[in-house]
């Protein structure tokens, strides 16, 4: 168990207009780790994918609660968890495969692949009818000044 140096929690309704808000808020909180522009881009993209999944797939025909928790752990590590109480994922391994989607034609099936490659570590917990939690960790390398 790593020590938590700082954290923030936010809760919002699964409206698509909150996608932009959520990724910007997480990036702003992460700014205290002095990330590079590339690292900020990675964080925003990964958060955008996770939050969009909760909005689009977790709550397909309804509005529900999404909670995003961000922790700063030892060794400059950022941990982001995105949780919904929506429909859940039946087969997580299948869902994580590149190009796999149960969505319409405006989905690419690349969300999990992006979350995985833009962070250092990604875990998915889900149960059908109960919801989904995605936890991502990213180490922000300290910079020389």
Partner 1 sequence: MEVIAMCRERTLELKLRGELDHHGACGLLTKLEREIESALPSELVMDFRGVTFMDSAGIAVALRGWQRMRELGGSVVLRGVSAQARKVLETAGVGRMMTIE
Ligand X SMILES: Nc1ncnc2c1ncn2[C@@H]1O[C@H](COP(=O)(O)OP(=O)(O)O)[C@@H](O)[C@H]1O
Catalytic-residue membership of 107: yes
Smallest gap from residue 7 Cβ to partner 1 (A): 25
Closer by beta carbon to ligand X, 122 or else 140: 122
Query: Is residue 53 among the annotated active site residues?
Result: yes
Q: Which of 141, 110, 138, 144 is nearest to 44 (CA)?
A: 138
Active-site annotation holds for 19: no
CB of 80 to partner 1, least distance (A): 15
Residue 58: which of ligand X, Mg ion, partner 1, none does it interact with, CB under 5 to 8 A by kind?
ligand X
- Binding residues for ligand X (CB under 6 A): 49, 53-54, 57-58, 84, 86-89, 95, 100-103, 107-112, 132
18, 49, 79, 83: the active-site residue: 49
Compute the least distance from the CB of residue 117 to partner 1, in Å: 6
Catalytically active residues are 49, 53, 107
């Amino acid at each position: 168990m790593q020590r938590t140096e700082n954290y923030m929690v936010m809760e919002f309704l699964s409206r698509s207009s909150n996608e932009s808000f959520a990724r910007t808020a997480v990036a702003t909180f992460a700014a205290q780790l002095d990330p590079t522009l590339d690292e900020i881009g990675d964080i925003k993209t990964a958060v955008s994918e996770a939050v969009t999944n909760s909005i689009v797939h977790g709550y397909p025909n309804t509005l529900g609660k999404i909670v995003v928790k961000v922790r700063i752990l030892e060794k400059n590590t950022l941990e982001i968890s995105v949780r919904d109480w929506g429909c859940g994922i039946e087969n997580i391994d299948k869902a994580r495969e590149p190009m796999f989607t149960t969505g319409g034609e405006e989905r690419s099936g690349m969300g999990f692949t992006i979350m995985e490659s833009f962070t250092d570590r990604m875990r998915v917990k889900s149960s059908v009818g109960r919801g989904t939690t995605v936890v991502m960790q990213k180490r922000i390398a300290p910079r020389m000044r």
